[in-house]
Amino acid sequence: MRQDAWRELTILFRLSTLELFLLIAGTLLGSSGVGFAAGRWSSHHSKTLHESFGVVQAALITLVALIIAFGLSMSVARFEARRIAVVNDATAIGTAYLRAQTLREPVRSLSLPLYLEYTDASILLSTSVPGSANARRAIDREEMLQRRLWKLAAESLKADPDGNASRLYVQSLNEMIDAQATRLDDLENRVPAPVGYLELLGAALALGLLSFYLALQSRGVVTILLATGFFALLIFVNFDLDRPSRGFIQVPSASLYELRASMLLPPAAGMPVSP
């Protein structure tokens, strides 16, 4: 079910950054060009069309601006949620790793290397395009390691049912698994595709009418180009925010890399001494 959701969510976002920008800019420039050409051709009717089109294009541009602002707020909120999820994931992994150092042997020695592999899988997920083969491989790897760690935690708890170290470790491991689930949900939580389509098509229509109106008044193309570039930039940023591992605005993974580097150092807690 999760992989089906990935495929659905990546239909609108499967293009590369360059392809996405060219699609947005081409659509808006094409609409502006058609509107400008139609306005030039209808310029002899400018007196009768002036007032009606002036009101319509102004109202439509205002409406489209509100839609883009709404979509941008949704994208920013989802970007921030993904950023927080990565930090929480790294924190949960780090806490479980530190508490694993307090476990008795042989669980301690068997568990610690698995956290290094788990962090590598988490980093791979951060750098992979959602829905790609690398992303699915990272998720499968994390889930497999979670099962192995949980099995070892159960053995530790069985060997020392009254020990605080085992109980605290099981709690941390459970929080780590929950943090990974939250992070995956945040990655899947994209801005609905109809909102993106509405932004692009609405902006194309608004710019077409604006170009038509300006052409009726025999004005230059500089204003049209500036308006087209502005709308194209806004829509591109809107889309780019919702692409966590591609484009110019990516969810930072510094916390995971720092955690990975700390795991290369000797464990902070020494091997527990059996009573």
pLDDT tens digits, residue range 162-200?
778 889 999 999 999 999 999 999 988 888 888 888 888
Per domain, the residue ranges of the chain are 18-262
Q: Following DSSP, what letter does each residue of 100-149 receive, concatenated?
A: HTTSPTTHHHHHHHHHHHHHHHHHHHHHSPTTSHHHHHHHHHHHHHHHHH
Given this model, what pLDDT does residue 144 score? 97
| pLDDT at residue 148 is higher than 60 | yes
Query: What is the mean pLDDT of the segment spanning 217-232?
Result: 82
| pLDDT at residue 59 is higher than 90 | no
- Burial label for 248, CB within 10 Å (0-12, 13-18, 19+), is exposed
Least confident of 57-61, 89-93, 156-160: 57-61
81 in helix, strand or coil?
helix
Using CA atoms, how far residue 167 sits from 116, 153, 157, 158, 164, in Å, is: 22, 9, 7, 10, 5
Residue in 102, 145, 96, 99 with CA at minimum distance from that of residue 122: 145
Cβ neighbours, 10 Å, residue 40: 13
Q: What is the maximum span of the chain, computed from C-alpha positions, in angstroms?
A: 99
Give me the amino acid identity at 74.
M
Query: What is the mean pLDDT of the segment spanning 34-59?
Result: 69
Structure tokens at 152: 């070892």
H-helix segments, 189-221? 193-216
Q: Which residue has the higher pLDDT, 55 or 2?
A: 55
What is the percentage of the chain residues whose pLDDT exceeds 90? 40
Given this model, what pLDDT does residue 8 score? 41
Given this model, what pLDDT does residue 176 score? 96
| pLDDT at residue 154 is higher than 60 | yes
| Residue pair 16/246 in contact by the 8 Å Cβ criterion | yes
Query: What is the mean pLDDT of the segment spanning 82-96?
Result: 96
| pLDDT at residue 7 is higher than 60 | no
**How far does the chain reach from its first CA to its final CA, in angstroms?**
48
Residue in 4, 53, 62 with CA at minimum distance from that of residue 210: 53
Dihedral through CA 21, CA 67, CA 69, CA 183, nearest 10? -70
Least confident of 38-52, 206-220, 228-242, 254-268: 38-52
* CATH among 1.10.287, 1.10.390, 1.20.58, 1.20.144 for 18-262: 1.20.58
| pLDDT at residue 58 is higher than 80 | no
| pLDDT at residue 110 is higher than 90 | yes
| pLDDT at residue 89 is higher than 90 | yes
Using CA atoms, how far residue 58 sits from 61, 110, 210, in Å, is: 5, 67, 8
- Measured distance CA(219)–CA(90) in Å, rounded: 56
Given this model, what pLDDT does residue 52 score? 59
- Measured distance CA(72)–CA(234) in Å, rounded: 8
| pLDDT at residue 115 is higher than 90 | yes
Under the banding of pLDDT at 50, 70 and 90, the label for residue 12 is low
Given this model, what pLDDT does residue 9 score? 41
Given this model, what pLDDT does residue 131 score? 78
For 131: left if phi > 0, alpha if psi spans -120 to 50, otherwise beta; the answer is: left
Percentages of the chain per state (helix, strand, coil), in multiples of 5: 80, 0, 20
